[in-house]
């Protein structure tokens, strides 16, 4: 989730379609059919079950962190299954399937701020075959590029309800293969947690992340990462003071600048990602494909995730 390829612009592997029926002529009464009546009643009942939840900042932060990770310092692993697209002038090209995992611990600093320690890996696989990509033909330019393995961290960060900060961004040099994914520079970042809602015993909340990096090297193109995430979990468990970590469903969307490894130069456009995810507490509980690929590419992380996260060298 550091904020990388682990996240991606339409929700739930496809946007929701909204059906609009034809309106009757002004003054004309349209006859109500049984199907229409049942449909309207169902829609009304469904809408009535969705309601905002009034939480003060401390309660919202505590509830959000039980979904995002945990309110104690245990290891949690967020995972994501998404599709990455090239997006140029309103047209999209599917590029690859993104299978990612973020190993993370959180430490409470205050009622509304947690310090994070994270390490993220992402696997870029062929959408049809599921095989790890070694080469990729970029849309528009037709350039054939090498596809590097992605691993970012361990990194320290912050999680807050509202955050607006400027900081040095050095992951290009701190992370293996970092220069293939990031440019060094000054990062302007915002985070917002909002819209807590309750529906049929399930709580959901929205997280918005926005990072723009102004490159340190003159003449280099800037970088941006814009993410929207919906976190969802059981309300009763979230409100139990004895529970520190709750199972979560994740709906994820992001828009990102071209990565350096894509060799798009100053070509117009960007990438879009959209997918679904969740969270586990043990490596062996990751989705089978994510676990298999992580074991294949990053065996040290599977063998000793807490040690690697703490900075232990293999």
Question: Average pLDDT, stretch 267-288?
Answer: 97
Predicted pLDDT at 312: 78
Q: Which residue has the higher pLDDT, 32 or 101?
A: 101
Asked whether residue 76 carries a pLDDT value surpassing 50, the answer given is yes
Q: Are 127 and 136 in contact (CB under 8 A)?
A: no
Predicted pLDDT at 219: 72
Express each pLDDT in 243-271 by its tens digit. Answer: 999 999 999 999 999 999 999 988 999 99
Predicted pLDDT at 26: 32
Q: What is the mean pLDDT of the chain?
A: 85
The two structure tokens encoding residue 260: 């350096």
Express each pLDDT in 161-208 by its tens digit. Answer: 999 999 887 765 667 777 777 777 888 999 999 999 999 999 999 999
Structural domain harbouring 156: 56-309
In which band, very low, low, confident or very high, does the pLDDT at 314 lie, cut at 50, 70 and 90?
low
What is the Cα–Cα distance from 147 to 141, expressed in whole angstroms?
16
- Is 48 within the bounds of a domain? no
List the one residue out of 289, 189, 149, 269 whose CA is nearest residue 221.
269
* Per-residue DSSP letter, 23: P
- Is 225 within the bounds of a domain? yes
Q: How many domains does the chain have?
A: 1
- Is 260 within the bounds of a domain? yes
Predicted pLDDT at 84: 98
Handedness of CA 193, 153, 274, 223 (dihedral sign): positive
- Is 73 within the bounds of a domain? yes
Express each pLDDT in 53-71 by its tens digit. Answer: 999 999 999 999 999 999 9
Predicted pLDDT at 174: 63
Q: Which residues pair with 234 in a beta bridge?
A: 202
* pTM of the model as a whole: 0.82
Q: Which ranges of 109-177 would DSSP assign to H, the alpha helix?
A: 171-174
- Is 19 within the bounds of a domain? no
Q: Which ranges of the chain would DSSP assign to H, the alpha helix?
A: 34-48, 57-68, 171-174, 178-181, 235-238, 288-297, 299-303, 305-309
- Is 167 within the bounds of a domain? yes
- Is 9 within the bounds of a domain? no
- Is 43 within the bounds of a domain? no
What is the Cα–Cα distance from 91 to 260, expressed in whole angstroms?
21
Question: Average pLDDT, stretch 131-139?
Answer: 96
């Amino acid at each position: 989730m550091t904020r990388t390829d682990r996240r991606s612009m339409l929700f739930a592997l496809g946007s929701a379609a909204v059906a609009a029926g034809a309106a009757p002529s002004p003054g004309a009464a349209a006859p109500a059919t049984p199907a229409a009546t049942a449909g309207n009643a169902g829609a009304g009942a469904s809408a009535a079950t969705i309601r905002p939840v009034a939480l003060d900042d401390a309660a919202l932060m505590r509830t959000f962190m039980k979904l995002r990770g945990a309110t104690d310092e245990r290891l949690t692993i967020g995972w994501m299954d998404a599709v990455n697209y090239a997006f140029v002038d309103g047209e999209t090209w599917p590029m690859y399937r993104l299978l990612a995992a973020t190993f993370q611990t959180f430490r409470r600093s205050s009622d509304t701020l947690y310090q994070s320690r994270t390490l993220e890996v992402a696997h870029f696989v062929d959408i049809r075959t599921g095989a790890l990509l070694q080469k990729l033909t970029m849309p528009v330019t037709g350039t054939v590029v090498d596809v590097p393995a992605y691993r970012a961290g361990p990194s320290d960060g912050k999680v807050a309800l509202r955050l607006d900060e400027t900081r040095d961004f050095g992951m290009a040099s701190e992370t293996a293969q970092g220069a293939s994914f990031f440019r060094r520079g000054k990062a302007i970042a915002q985070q917002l947690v909002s819209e807590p809602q309750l529906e049929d015993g399930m709580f959901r909340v929205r997280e918005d992340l926005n990072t723009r990096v102004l490159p340190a090297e003159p003449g280099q193109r800037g970088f941006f990462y814009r993410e929207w995430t919906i976190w969802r979990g059981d309300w009763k468990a979230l409100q139990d003071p004895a529970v520190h970590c709750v199972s979560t469903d994740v709906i994820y969307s992001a828009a990102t600048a071209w990565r350096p490894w894509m060799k798009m130069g100053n070509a117009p456009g960007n990438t879009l990602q959209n997918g679904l995810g969740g969270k586990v507490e043990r490596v062996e509980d990751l989705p089978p494909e994510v676990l298999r690929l992580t074991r294949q590419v990053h065996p040290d992380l599977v063998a000793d995730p807490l040690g690697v996260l703490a900075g232990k060298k293999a």
